[in-house]
Amino acid sequence: MTYSVAVSGASGYAGGEILRLLAAHPDIEIRTVTAHSSAGQPLSAHQPHLRSLAHLELQPTTPEILAGHDIVFLALPHGQSGQYTDALDDTPLVIDAGADHRLTSQDAWDAFYGGSFHEPWTYGVPELLVGDGRKQRENLRDARRVAAPGCNASTVSLSLVPGVAAGVIDPSDIVSVLAVGPSGAGKSLKTHLLGSEILGTANPYAVGGTHRHIPEIQQALIDASGTSTGSGAQKVGISFTPVIVPMARGILATSTARIAEGVTDAEIRDAWQSAYGDETFVQLLPEGSFPRTADVLGANTALMGLAIDRAAGRVTVVTAVDNLVKGTAGAAIQSMNLALGLPEDRALTMNGVAP
C-alpha cells in the first residue's frame, strides 16, 4: 500500500527535512506541499537540494488543502497547528513537528508558551523509557496523532531517562548545557541569527530557566520515574542552558546529575546499557568515548558517551544528535513507521555524512 502525504511548512527547515527523508520512503507518495508567505512558489526555490521533488509547487496551508491525505505532517511555528488539527478529524494519521501537542500540563503550556492549549498527542520518541520498563514505541504503535519532539528536549531526555528510570541518579539535581546550531531556531529572518552575529562566537540564550523545552524534559523524566501521578510525582530540577555555536546543524548536550546514594559504577553503566543496548538509533559508546556532532550529521542517531565523576559525585552524559533528523524529522518518520505498522527503521539511516 502507498500512503498519500501532505507536508505543511514545506519551505522551512523541519518541513524540508521531513520531505528529504520521505522522498526515500518506498511506501509514501508526497502529493502536497504547503507553506505560508511562499505559497505559489516552486518548492525548489526554498529546498533546492530536494531534486526529486523539484516538480512540486507550494500551496497555501488551509484545512481544505491538507484534508484528503492518508498522512499530514505539520511543521509550523508553535501555536499554528491547532487551527488545522481540529479540521483534520478524518485524516488517519497527523504528525505535528511543533510544540502544540507535546505538553500534558496546561499550567506548563501557559507558563512557557501561552495562547490556546491543545490536547496532548502521543509523544514521538520511541526509545524513551516511560515507566515499568516500557518504552514509548509501544504507545506509538497504531497511534493516530503524534507530537514529534523538541530537538533539545528529546536529546536531554534520552540522555537522562535511563538513569532516572533505574533510580541511579537524583532527578532533582540536573544540569544540562547544550551547544546548538542555529537551524534549530528555523529559517525565518532573525537578527540574532545572522551570519555576522553567530560566526566566530558562542552565544548563550534563554539562560536561567526560561527555555520552552524545559517542561517537555521534566515531563519525560517524570514519566520515566514511573511516578507521574499523585503526590508521589518525583521532583525534577533541571538547569538548562543552550548556547548557539557556528554549525548549521547539530546539538551536543552535556548533562550531569548527582549520583544516587549507594549506587555502584557498574549499576550506573548498566542502566544506560540495558536501556539502549538493543536500540538502532540510540547508541551508547564504549567507556571513555564521547561523540561529536559531526558523527551524526544526516543520521537518525543519538550518540551518547557516559562518564562517572566520583570526585564530583555526578554522572556526565554527552549526547550528539542532528537536530533536524533525530531531533525532528527522523523522530517523526520513525513514529510514522510505528503508527503504520511498517519496519521502524524504514527510510532512516544510522550512518552520518562525513567529513
Taking contact as CB under 6 A, which single stretch among the options 73-81, 101-109, 169-177, 272-280 is the one that binds ligand NAP? 73-81
Q: Contact letters (x/-) for ligand NAP, 299-328, by CB under 6 A?
A: ------------------------xx--xx
How many residues belong to the site for ligand NAP (CB under 6 A)? 31
Q: Considering the complex, what minimum distance in angstroms separates the CB of residue 7 from ligand NAP? A: 9
Question: Residue for cell digits 502536497?
Answer: 32
Nearer to ligand NAP by Cβ, of 259 and 331: the residue is 331
Nearer to ligand NAP by Cβ, of 45 and 266: the residue is 45
For position 77 contacting ligand NAP by CB under 6 A, the verdict is yes
Q: Of 50, 128, 151, 169, which one is the catalytic site residue?
A: 151
Nearer to ligand NAP by Cβ, of 98 and 163: the residue is 98
Instruction: Judge whether 327 and 155 are in contact, CB under 8 Å.
Output: yes
Instruction: Judge whether 337 and 129 are in contact, CB under 8 Å.
Output: no
Q: Please, which of residues 25-64 interact with ligand NAP by CB under 6 A?
A: 35-38, 61
Decide if 151 is catalytic. yes
Nearer to ligand NAP by Cβ, of 10 and 284: the residue is 10
* 3-state secondary structure (DSSP) of residue 283: strand
For position 99 contacting ligand NAP by CB under 6 A, the verdict is yes
Give residues with Cβ within 8 angstroms of 72, minimum separation 6.
5, 6, 7, 8, 66, 84, 88, 91, 93, 94, 95
Phi, psi dihedral angles at 12 (to 5 degrees): -90, -175
For position 150 contacting ligand NAP by CB under 6 A, the verdict is yes
Q: Considering the complex, what minimum distance in angstroms separates the CB of residue 265 from ligand NAP? A: 34
Q: Considering the complex, what minimum distance in angstroms separates the CB of residue 149 from ligand NAP? A: 7
* 3-state secondary structure (DSSP) of residue 164: helix
246/202 Cα distance (integer angstroms): 7
Residue 58: its H or E element: strand 58-60
Instruction: Name the strands in the sheet holding 28-35, side by side, starting at the edge strand that comes first in the sequence.
Output: 58-60, 28-35, 3-7, 71-74, 93-96, 145-147, 122-123
Q: Considering the complex, what minimum distance in angstroms separates the CB of residue 8 from ligand NAP? A: 6
Nearer to ligand NAP by Cβ, of 36 and 269: the residue is 36
229/226 Cα distance (integer angstroms): 8
Q: Contact positions toward ligand NAP, by CB under 6 A?
A: 9-15, 35-38, 61, 75-78, 80, 97-99, 150-151, 183-184, 186-188, 323-324, 327-328
